[in-house]
């Protein structure tokens, strides 16, 4: 088994969100009571975090900010934005049908029935690689974690960097949502990484590659199989291919590799607070431009997939013709 097949990642050069994408989070005026502003105010006197291996490509024109040795946050009582929610959109996607009923008439979903302890919390499906962490089989001198992974009888070391502010982000998300980790990577790698990353026990469930739908060369996270109401569920992911079936539910995230000045997770929190307080997830996602971008990127991917499929069919026809001529 190829060691690189253990982890599902996007490359720097092929990141679909790094080419001209301007995240709605750049407009700090769009939501009041910004978590990001409060966190910066609290942390401005802390010392610099040890620098990562390299700066990478900055995704925003912002000054290098301090990385605190211990993350703090102040919960926001109400992150609701001031807007008139548009009507809930009609989902028109290439979504497979939900699971067929079993012998006793019940549908088999990926998650167990919702626990009453979550109350009215919505469900947040959160990606791992390039969203919360970046991992490499190549040694990284200042890795946050080093995870041993057995592949074909040999132990390999995986070096893991945590995205800036991920601890505060996860803690706040656990206060607002039923959080589900869903990664297209294999469990033998992702499960121990989650054990080290999720120090607050935020993730109530973890889903791995075997829970994805393999669709035209991509591992897709089909939200209809989760077992939660679609209008009460979001997916937070850096890869548009992951949410190609449900772009209306997507919160696109810029891929992270090693930039220590990254503030994407803090930038997203005010919007995620507003979604948590809304009647359904679509209102905030549509109002602040997440949905339109998600639909554009997934449509582009579907077009590329269709072109590739047609080319494969043409090549097969040519091969069949050559065989007949012989």
**β strands within 30-168, DSSP E:** 122-126, 133-136, 145-151, 154-162
What does the pLDDT look like over 262-318, one tens digit per residue?
999 999 999 999 999 999 999 999 999 999 989 998 888 888 878 877 888 888 888
The set of long-range contacts for 73-76, using a CB threshold of 8 Å and a minimum separation of 24, is 73/35, 73/38, 73/39, 73/42, 73/168, 73/171, 73/172, 74/35, 74/38, 74/39, 74/42, 75/172, 75/175, 76/33, 76/35, 76/38, 76/270, 76/273
| Residue 319 pLDDT class (50, 70, 90 cuts) | confident
Per-residue pLDDT reduced to its tens digit, 58-102: 333 323 333 333 333 333 333 333 333 333 333 333 444 556 555
Q: Whole-angstrom Cα distance, residue 256 to residue 238?
A: 9
Percent of the chain topping pLDDT 70: 68
Question: Percent of the chain, pLDDT > 90?
Answer: 56
When mean pLDDT is compared across 40-44, 61-65, 105-109, the lowest value belongs to 61-65
Across the range 222-232, mean pLDDT stands at 97
Q: What is the pTM of this model?
A: 0.71
* Residue 57 banded pLDDT, cuts 50, 70, 90: very low
Q: If pLDDT is split at 50, 70 and 90, which confidence band does 130 have?
A: very high
pLDDT of 31 above 60: no
Domains of the chain: 32-77+120-325 (3.40.50.1000)
Decide if pLDDT at 229 tops 50. yes
pLDDT attached to residue 154: 94
Question: What per-residue confidence (pLDDT) applies to 265?
Answer: 98
Q: Which of 41-45, 110-114, 141-145, 255-259 has the lowest mean pLDDT?
A: 41-45
Could you tell me the two tokens for 217? Answer: 């060369």
Task: Name the residues annotated as catalytic.
Answer: 127, 129
Residue 69: per-residue pLDDT = 34
pLDDT in tens, 141-197: 999 999 999 999 999 999 999 999 999 999 999 999 999 999 999 999 999 999 999
């Amino acid at each position: 088994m190829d060691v690189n097949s253990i982890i599902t990642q996007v490359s720097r050069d092929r990141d679909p969100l790094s080419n001209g994408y301007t995240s709605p989070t750049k407009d700090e005026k769009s939501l009041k009571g910004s978590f990001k502003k409060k966190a910066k105010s609290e942390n401005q006197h802390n010392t610099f975090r040890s620098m990562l291996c390299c700066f990478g490509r900055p995704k925003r024109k912002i000054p290098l900010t301090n990385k605190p040795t211990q993350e703090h946050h102040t919960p926001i009582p109400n992150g609701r934005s001031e807007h008139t929610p548009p009507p809930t959109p009609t989902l028109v996607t290439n979504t497979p049908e939900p699971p067929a009923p079993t012998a006793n008439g019940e549908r088999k979903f990926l998650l167990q029935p919702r626990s009453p302890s979550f109350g009215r919390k919505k469900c947040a499906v959160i990606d791992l690689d390039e969203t919360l962490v970046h991992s490499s089989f190549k040694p990284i001198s200042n890795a946050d974690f080093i995870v041993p992974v057995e592949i074909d009888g040999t132990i390999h070391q995986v070096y893991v960097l945590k995205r800036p502010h991920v601890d505060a982000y996860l803690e706040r998300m656990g206060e607002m949502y039923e959080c589900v980790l869903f990664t297209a990577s294999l469990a033998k790698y992702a499960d121990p990484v989650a054990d080290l990353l999720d120090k607050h026990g935020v993730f109530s469930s973890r889903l791995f590659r075997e829970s994805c739908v393999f669709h035209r060369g991509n591992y897709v996270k089909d939200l209809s199989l989760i077992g939660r109401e679609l209008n009460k569920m979001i997916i937070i992911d850096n890869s548009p291919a992951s949410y190609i079936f449900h772009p209306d539910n997507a919160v696109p995230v810029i891929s992270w590799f090693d930039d220590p000045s990254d503030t994407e997770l803090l930038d997203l929190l005010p919007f995620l607070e507003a979604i948590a307080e809304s009647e359904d997830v679509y209102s905030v996602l549509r109002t602040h431009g997440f949905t339109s971008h998600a639909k554009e990127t997934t449509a582009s991917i579907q077009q590329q997939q269709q072109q590739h499929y047609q080319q494969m069919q043409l090549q097969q026809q040519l091969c069949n013709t050559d065989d007949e001529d012989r």
